[in-house]
Structure 1
Amino acid sequence: MKVEYSTNYCIIEISERLVIIVKYYSIKDVSNATGLTSYTIRYYEKIGFLPWLKRNKNGVRIFTESDIRYLECLIFFKKIGMSLDDIKEIIKEGCMIKDFKNGLNIHDIIQKRLNILDTHIQKLKREREELDKLIEVSIDRRNIYKKILKSPLT
């Protein structure tokens, strides 16, 4: 097997008849695509979210479309308020199909992920209840101010 890196592609020659060309991206490209800063992407790599990340012969990180989709998944979990520890727990087994082939109990993995998500959903519901209360208090306060403005000043 022969591997060559060009400007934006990795060419993998498996055999004379099978050549795979994979487009890859720089950290700047990934930053632009995801909205994450380069620092955050490097931090995610450092804490173990991107252990498979490859580097070219100059030591520059190279990313694939799959890496970008993976980071978008992390962004989603962060956006809904999950901690990095919970995200790590949810994704640590990786691809369920791969785990299934490796003989891990897929039911246990899915149940663990389900429990984490259920706990997070309950937390979000409690936060929503608090926000609803704050909205109600704010509306009441606003109505009081409106009444004061409409009443004749003495």
Structure 2
Amino acid sequence: MQETQSFLRLMSEHPHLNVQFSSLDALTPSMTIQEVAEATRISAYTIRFYEKCGILPPIQRTESGILQFTKADVHFLRFLLELKQTGMSLEEIAEFTADGCLLERIRRNELSAQPVERRLVMLRQHEQRLYEQRCQLDMVLDAVHQKMEFYEHYLRDQCPETAES
């Protein structure tokens, strides 16, 4: 019970994790793959692919083999999609998730510093790449703005009838 309270306190103290865990219901399997697909707008095929490739931590199954997702699984899947949308490769995401779901290990009070440190290093490296990409995009945007200003000045100075419209 104390582990559960520690877990819930940790989650409530870190709202940036975007997790609203108010009870252990978040860790109780309750969603089918179709429900998860609808909630995340990811196809069931892609979810199965992610699970099979190890990008998703192992998902609990019923006795008949049907995948049963927890709210924590869905949150983790959304986080993985955010990483993918930022340009992290599936190989990097698989490496990132190699330790499985850290939230569950926190809940069981079994989490050592090593996997957290490893993920932090990976996220810092990824963050640096994103800053570099942003810098490159800013330079391209500056060039586009300069070209737009040139054309606007041209139209205003050389084609006054066009500038009025």
TM-score, normalization by structure 2: 0.66
Q: Are positions 1:64 and 2:73 aligned together? A: no
Q: Are positions 1:54 and 2:43 aligned together? A: no
Please state how far the C-alpha of 1:69 moved relative to its aligned partner.
Answer: 1.8
Please state how far the C-alpha of 1:34 moved relative to its aligned partner.
Answer: 0.9
Q: Are positions 1:25 and 2:31 aligned together? A: yes
Counting helix residues as a fraction of each chain, which structure ranks higher?
A: 2
Aligned residue pairs: how many? 129
Where relative contact order (Cα < 8 A, 6+ residues apart) is larger, the structure is 2
Aligned-pair identity in percent equals: 31
Alignment of 1:1-154 (within 5 A): 22=28, 24-48=30-54, 49-55=56-62, 57=64, 59-94=65-100, 95=102, 96-97=105-106, 101=110, 106-153=112-159
Provide the C-alpha distance between the structure 1 equivalents of 2:149 and 2:41, rounded to a whole number of angstroms.
Answer: 40
When residues 118 and 66 of structure 1 are mapped into structure 2, their CA distance, relative to the original with a 3 A threshold, is closer
Where does structure 1 lack aligned partners over 5 or more consecutive residues?
1-19
TM-score, normalization by structure 1: 0.71
Counting strand residues as a fraction of each chain, which structure ranks higher?
A: 1
When residues 134 and 78 of structure 1 are mapped into structure 2, their CA distance, relative to the original with a 3 A threshold, is same
* Structure of greater Rg: 1
Please state how far the C-alpha of 1:56 moved relative to its aligned partner.
Answer: 5.2
**Cα deviation per residue 1:104-132 (whole Å; 9 max; x = unaligned)?**
7x233222112111111110111011000
User: Alignment RMSD, CA only?
Assistant: 2.5
Provide the C-alpha distance between the structure 2 equivalents of 1:117 and 1:23, rounded to a whole number of angstroms.
Answer: 28
